[in-house]
Chains A and B, each alone.
Chain A
Amino acid sequence: KNEVEQSPQNLTAQEGEFITINCSYSVGISALHWLQQHPGGGIVSLFMLSSGKKKHGRLIATINIQEKHSSLHITASHPRDSAVYICAAGGETSGSRLTFGEGTQLTVNP
């Protein structure tokens, strides 16, 4: 059974700050997903990665397979980035379940 741990649970930043959210998982996976959950509850997929690094706009996700660790970075943070960020580990086979972390509540103040 995979365990997914995220830190920090809560993060408050000032607009413009560089933000890092960390995620660790306990067993082998096919891919690590980063998701964003809005206040209304909807979930949006940000990244899926199995190695290295991916970048989309101001968001960067990295993964270290050997250390079973991933990070999500937000550069030049903005109040509209305020949301819950969740990492989720995919199972080892195609189409298998996602195991979710607890999420990180990010608040970016103007």
Chain B
Amino acid sequence: EPEVTQTPSHQVTQMGQEVILRCVPISNHLYFYWYRQILGQKVEFLVSFYNNEISEKSEIFDDQFSVERPDGSNFTLKIRSTKLEDSAMYFCASSPDRGYQPQHFGDGTRLSIL
């Protein structure tokens, strides 16, 4: 069964550095999402992406964050000037463009800011 792939599985970065989290969504899916889960807290929506543009973003997704689909397969989340509170598990998800379809999640990238 096709799956969403995220790399790396664990990223350790110094505070203030930029980090790029990578995702390969399922190939025929057209909606892409990023969520994060701070340790011990619930999963929170960051951003959704469709037709090469952001379709919805949360209040968390400020100018520090950006998303990009640089080619036909990758979907990236860039975090500039990382802060300690950016430490979390980041999940990528994708869903087909047929309306009201389940979102398929990757295994997540654990981001640790030192």
- Nearest residue (CB) in B for A100 is B43
List chain B residues, Cβ under 8 A from A57.
Answer: none
B5 to chain A, nearest CB (A): 12
List chain B residues, Cβ under 8 A from A90.
Answer: 100
- Number of residues of chain A lying within 8 A (CB) of chain B: 25
Cross-chain contact B33 with A42 (CB below 8 angstroms): no
List chain A residues, Cβ under 8 A from B95.
Answer: 95
Cross-chain contact A102 with B48 (CB below 8 angstroms): no
Cross-chain contact B101 with A96 (CB below 8 angstroms): no
Kindly state whether residue A45 has any CB partner on chain B within 8 Å: yes
- Number of residues of chain B lying within 8 A (CB) of chain A: 28
B76-114 interface bits toward A, Cβ cutoff 8 Å, 1 = contact, 0 = none: 000000000000010100010101111111111010000
What's the A-B contact tally at a CB cutoff of 8 Å?
62
Cross-chain contact A95 with B48 (CB below 8 angstroms): yes
Give the docked Cα–Cα distance between A33 and B106 (Å). 16
Checking A31, A43, A50, A101 against B105 with a beta-carbon cut-off of 8 angstroms, the contacting residue is: A43
- Nearest residue (CB) in B for A6 is B42
Residues 65-80 (chain B) with a chain A CB within 8 angstroms: none
13 more CB-based (< 8 A) A-B contacts, given A35-B105, A41-B108, A98-B35 = A30-B100, A41-B37, A43-B105, A86-B43, A94-B99, A95-B48, A95-B97, A96-B48, A98-B45, A98-B103, A99-B45, A100-B35, A103-B42
Binding site for B on A (CB under 8 A): 30-31, 33, 35, 40-45, 48, 50, 86, 88, 90, 94-103
Q: Please name the 4 residue pairs, one residue from A and one from B, whose CB atoms are nearest each other, closest first.
A: A94-B99, A97-B45, A43-B105, A100-B43
